[in-house]
A and B are shown apart, each in its own frame.
Chain A
Amino acid sequence: MDNILEVTNLHTSFYTMAGEVKAVNGLDFSVRKGSTLGIVGESGSGKSVTMLSIVKLLGTNGKIKEGSILFNGEDVVDKKEDYMQTLRGNKIGMIFQDPMTSLNPVLTVGYQICESLIKHKNMSRRQAEKKAVELLSEVGIPDPKNRLNNYPHEFSGGMRQRVMIAIAVSCNPQLLIADEPTTALDVTIQAQILDLMKRLQSELDTSIIIITHDLGVVADIADEIMVMYGGNMVEKGSTRDIFYNPKHPYTKGLLRSVPNPDKLIKEKLIPIDGQPPDLLNLPKGCPFSPRCPNTMKICLMKNPDLMEFENGQKARCWLLNKEARAKGKVI
């Protein structure tokens, strides 16, 4: 079996006062053992919800409506909470997007790192503390021994994020899911964290899913990239294919939006105009159609299927369908 994770036809919704928020709509993807998948996409496109679905932390109003999630070949969708607890923080390491809410404010940082080592790895408190000091220094926290006794609020935002990373890698997970792990960090520490993740991967064959808005980060660390928009994948391929041969207009627009710092004369940035779709009322056709520069009639009527190319690249766009393209008038 070469896939550590296989997600098929995943539908996840939140039930709110205003109605059903369809955060993920029929997502299919897999992660090869020992490889790194980068996920990029619109804010609100369902990246975090996808990750929370995998570890089943959707809160009281969230629900996986349909689909399967195979971790090591075993479907977790119908598994009970106590089974999930043996995975979380152990076989699956998680770095959440918001470090403020995922650290417990009334427990010391040291206690929180040691907790999972004691629980999952049967370490004594003394062993766990020694390991915790090592971990904190690996993520670049100065004076780690003394810092163990600090509470989260005594750390800066970036330092809290690094504590989360230390906890996530502490039990040598088979799958590390990192949701914006480096957004609050400066580039030197970011580079150090990415190196740590690469090292973990080469030493322990860890598989990694990294969610980020920073295209530089995925260019550096990802083997494959998945691009999400409006609750689904719109494109997936090898990192080189996505950067050098993007197929979907959203992917193309993303790549164009990045400033080029080598230019001496300032040019205006090229954003994609318009706003992300409303998940309470998804458009009938392609969710990107209201912002797409190439929208055709059919795009407004029907969401395109995923097209697969010989190189394994996949994209969901009517422009890639020869027939639709021949018939379709750009509107």
Chain B
Amino acid sequence: MGDLVRVENLKKYFPIRKGILGKKINYVKAVDNVSFSIKSGETLGLVGESGCGKTTTGRTVIKLYEPTEGKIYYEDKDITNLTNREMMSIRRKMQMIFQDPYASLNPRMTVSDIIRESMVVHKMYNENERREKIKELLDIVGLNSEQANRYPHEFSGGQRQRVGIARALAVEPKFIICDEPISALDVSIQAQIINTLEDLQKKYNLTYLFIAHDLSMVKHISNKIAVMYLGNMVEVAESNELYMNPQHPYTKALLSAIPIPDPDKSKKKKRIMLEGEVPSPIKPPRGCKFHPRCKYKKKICTEEQPVLKDLGNNHKIACHLF
């Protein structure tokens, strides 16, 4: 199967301005040379420290942000430099489910208006068809059609997140970026949403980029997992492989910090503590960006930035130890 989405050497820098003239004095290098691909119908999990550039990566891939450098391919078509108008038909196929179900739904619109809006924007269906479609979508995400005329604040967090999913599905997307879609929900509802996402994926051959801090859930839903550190991708592998056999010193520390929902096992667990301070994306360290916190660093780590290398069986890592 081919890649639905491919990203090559993607960079996104945010200028920091100062003074009344708005002179650019520096850049936040939020995403700094990231490459990955996602096969059609599969899920790539994206994990890493808070502030490492996950959300920015997601938003840049669907061009909610203009990339600073690099290439983005959708179905092998280079979409990096498409104008907004040219993007219109492709944008419909790329949707995003946001982290915060409270902030991302317009409080003054009913649920059915919220779902209808995106169909209207993309000029899909006539009004009758839209009404049918809304019913169908509510059913798919597990809400009943009586609830269609309610407002977001009348729903629980889990129900709101379903409204967000229904809205994303309304325009028949192929690629959905799920940015922390479940972290605000209790685990019994998290499991409902994840099962729904998986069922939909099978039914419509959807492709997901799944961003989350809950590594157990990421592992559950993803085929592959990519680990980011300070704007770079440091390790990518099949999810079982990454979980069982992590290689990068940062990935090892990250996995060792997963809290285990079992008090006795949790007490016995050995955590790898990271030394040193989290560096700033404005003045990232030279060489390997992880080197100030890495206990295996060698001289070369402080001088040269390691590139992603394939260790075989599609396990890629950016570290001078390999």
Contacts and interface: CB of A to CB of B under 8 A. Distances in A.
Interface stretch (A76-84, A125-133, A154-162): A154-162
B183 A213 contact: yes
Contact of B257 (A40, A159, A191, A266): A191
Nearest to B193: A271
Contact of A184 (B50, B188, B271): B50
B253 A188 contact: yes
Contact of A43 (B189, B253, B261, B266): B189
Contacts of B260: 216, 219-220
A138 to B, nearest CB: 11
Interface size class of B (residues with CB under 8 A): 35 or more
Interface stretch (A55-63, A65-73, A255-263, A315-323): A255-263
B190 A257 contact: yes
Contacts of B190: 213, 257, 271
A257 B158 CA distance: 15
Contacts of A255: 261
Nearest to B157: A43
A122 interface: no
A196 interface: no
B90 interface: no
B159 interface: yes
Contacts of A213: 183-187, 190
B262 interface: yes
A220 B260 CA distance: 8
Interface residues of A, number: 57
A243 B261 contact: yes
B220 A259 contact: yes
A272 B50 contact: no
B280 A143 contact: yes
Nearest to A242: B263
B184 A43 contact: yes
Nearest to A263: B220
**Chain A at the B interface: mostly helix, strand, loop or mixed?**
loop
A259 B239 CA distance: 14
Contacts of A271: 188-192, 195
A268 interface: yes
Contacts of B186: 40-43, 45, 213, 254
B261 A142 contact: no
Contact of B263 (A240, A259, A276): A240
Nearest to A188: B257
B4 to A, nearest CB: 21
B214 interface: yes
Interface in A259-311: 259-261, 264, 266, 268-273, 275-276
B51 A261 contact: no
B51 A158 contact: yes
Interface string A193-228: 010000000000000000001111101100000000
The 8 closest A-B pairs by CB, nearest first: A158-B50, A216-B259, A271-B191, A215-B261, A269-B191, A43-B157, A272-B188, A271-B192
8 contacts: A40-B186, A43-B158, A183-B183, A187-B258, A214-B261, A259-B217, A261-B220, A272-B188
